[in-house]
Structure 1
């Protein structure tokens, strides 16, 4: 690797050098000249850059020179195309687009939170940075009641189970976590409870069921003061009902197997 650098000399001048360095740590320094004012310095830097570019000819693309526009062209828009297209492809491959009846608002909310986990309102800011034209926050709030229905979640869960090839010998993993909220008062669902982060704010308890590779299959939310042991049976029963399973084998540690669960 080679680069141009400027160093001060003992006489107070500024020397322009080309430094050739290697991964092994060795360096070769090529002295271009010493400048005593800013004009000389810029001339020496230009000469150094020309020397670095020796043998690197300009590729002729056969294009006409652009007209003079009085400066660089303004950037009017930008888009994280590769990231958004990749996430959208996975979303479509799982069948979520069809399950959501082509609801672009749901797609935007899901993918924005994969890019940056944040609030519903702040998700609109994420979409703007990605370069996606999002809906208004008012429209987003109007759609939320539909997304909260059991039927909506069950359709997505069925697609996830189909994707992993759920069968009689499938190993599933289950655990719980908590999500806290920036508020001081509970509302009957968001309530203070046991927090692994030792927080006092109201929270909810989330139970997640995945396959052996960690792919999500079912998620349930419980009141924030719900003990983790009491979430296991409702989740297992809901999963069995959703996929018409007649029997399952449960292997769990003492933290989940309470006397009531037994």
Structure 2
């Protein structure tokens, strides 16, 4: 620090100034403290030379600042307007995501891709900002570019470069998935012995089919063309790999190509693939009996052959644990408070594969199904009173419990259809309450198989997060290559978020984590540092402790913020 003298006709005024640099390295001069004119200094400090005192005072402030003991004093003028178009608030919540991004080696991966294609724009800058914005402020690519200006470091590319980058990201999608998986092993817990596979689809707000955008069975029941995504996830809840395929393709055919790719590229061999019944074709099951692989898949009790269905629904022969005495279901506590799972098993040889068939019964699950059905019956009763509300029956449509009679009791054609509740349909469905079927080629403990299959909820939750929190649909790009690149950024965003969730020991909900990061704004105090504008909570404390930096001091000096930025860009 040094003094500055300002001369007037009658006096000279003194102030302490210093040279400062902002977070982007731009140099400027700021007034630290106005000391007053010579007469004022003599009045406060009799017998001293004003200039000598001012220099000594500036030296003292310099020494205190070096020791980081001096409080920072900010002065604002009530009549001075803020600078035009001057941004004063910045988001720093993305810094925790940035730390994971760099630990996954994505900065090095994008650098390798950039050297391969030799384009001029910064692929690392584009991919990283697309991921941060997908988690914090999910929207279209154009809006993401505009919103990224509110990140502490802003965004250093042009909008058209972002779209060009999507074409390259599609070409290198397999390479990125492979390298990010290998790097994730260094920073996250991954149980890669058990893999979960499922499919979902994403709609486009268009009317005509084009490329992979085809009319198919939409998960959201929307009358729009869709594309489909197949996703592998490990038993730790982290996404492993994905593929995109046409909206009118049978999803069963998507499993083998993607599994073959990850077995080869990720160097996996001893894996157990867990799927739902819709993906468990006989070919897929046979494929996962080869080598050291295995499968666990759900099995519909309703679709079993007669002799197997009778065995599965027989109330005798149930067990709580392997080797214990068989019990009859009439002997158990059938109340919702009973959370015990009962099972029975046998080996079956259907088609070209011998499988172990495991059936479970849960009183809690039975009462859950009964509650759902009772609500659906109530809705069906309302439809009976309003026949015009009847539509084509779907699997879980309450209309399946409605009987429509077009003839009178005398056998004549009725002028008006008679609607009533179909009690036989209700009873037919109720007989399956509490039952759940699993097929596998493994000889493991049945309780362990039940536990593994139960964890399928995590991949369903991943799809929910991708659609609801990350707002991956509707999709605003049109070309097939850019569509796949869009879902690559969604996949990487999901991986980054899931790793963050794992580091937090799953203590907080997804909306809570994302909202906290989104609200972590700081105000820039020019030349001094950044003042937190967010609420300090247990979650923010956890984040700072996990990532070994803090933004929750009353003010974070510019020099310290630069250190934080360097810290978040370290790779493992």
The TM-score bracket by the shorter chain reads 0.5 to 0.7
What is residue 164 of structure 2 aligned with on the other side?
Answer: 142
Tell me how far apart the structure 1 counterparts of residues 89 and 125 of structure 2 sit (CA, whole Å). 17
User: Measured at CA, do residues 255 and 61 of structure 1 come closer, stay the same or move farther in structure 2, by a change above 3 Å?
Assistant: same
- Of 95, 99, 102, the residue aligned with 1:92 is 102
| Number of positions where the alignment pairs a residue of Structure 1 with one of Structure 2 | 201
Tell me how far apart the structure 1 counterparts of residues 167 and 201 of structure 2 sit (CA, whole Å). 22
Q: Please list, as runs of the form range in 1=range in 2, the aligned pairs for 1:1-262 lying within 5 A after superposition.
A: 61=71, 63=73, 66=75, 68=77, 70-71=79-80, 73=82, 76-101=86-111, 103-130=124-151, 132-149=154-171, 151-164=172-185, 170-262=193-285
Tell me how far apart the structure 2 counterparts of residues 195 and 106 of structure 1 sit (CA, whole Å). 29
Could you list the structure 1 runs, at least 4 aligned residues long, displaced by more than 4 angstroms after superposition: 60-63, 71-75, 165-169
User: Measured at CA, do residues 61 and 115 of structure 1 come closer, stay the same or move farther in structure 2, by a change above 3 Å?
Assistant: closer
User: Measured at CA, do residues 67 and 218 of structure 1 come closer, stay the same or move farther in structure 2, by a change above 3 Å?
Assistant: closer
Deviations 1:111-162 (A, max 9, x none): 111213322222113213435235222111222211001x343234332244
User: Measured at CA, do residues 139 and 212 of structure 1 come closer, stay the same or move farther in structure 2, by a change above 3 Å?
Assistant: same
Q: Tell me the CA shift for residue 69 of structure 1.
A: 5.7
User: Measured at CA, do residues 105 and 253 of structure 1 come closer, stay the same or move farther in structure 2, by a change above 3 Å?
Assistant: closer
User: Measured at CA, do residues 69 and 164 of structure 1 come closer, stay the same or move farther in structure 2, by a change above 3 Å?
Assistant: same
Larger radius of gyration: 2
Tell me how far apart the structure 2 counterparts of residues 186 and 202 of structure 1 sit (CA, whole Å). 6
The structure with higher relative contact order (CA 8 Å, sep 6+) is: 2
In 2, are the aligned partners of 1:161 and 1:217 still within 8 Å (CA)?
no
Tell me how far apart the structure 1 counterparts of residues 93 and 240 of structure 2 sit (CA, whole Å). 24
Which has the larger displacement, 168-177 or 112-121?
168-177
Show structure 1 runs of 5+ residues with no match. Answer: 1-59
1:178 aligns to what SS in structure 2? strand
1:255 aligns to what SS in structure 2? helix
Tell me how far apart the structure 2 counterparts of residues 115 and 62 of structure 1 sit (CA, whole Å). 31
In 1, are the aligned partners of 2:193 and 2:272 still within 8 Å (CA)?
no
Which has the larger displacement, 91-100 or 102-111?
102-111
Tell me how far apart the structure 1 counterparts of residues 144 and 99 of structure 2 sit (CA, whole Å). 20
Q: CA RMSD of the aligned region, Å? A: 2.8
Tell me how far apart the structure 2 counterparts of residues 103 and 169 of structure 1 sit (CA, whole Å). 28
In 1, are the aligned partners of 2:199 and 2:230 still within 8 Å (CA)?
yes
Q: Tell me the CA shift for residue 227 of structure 1.
A: 2.4
Tell me how far apart the structure 1 counterparts of residues 220 and 76 of structure 2 sit (CA, whole Å). 60
Higher share in helix: 2
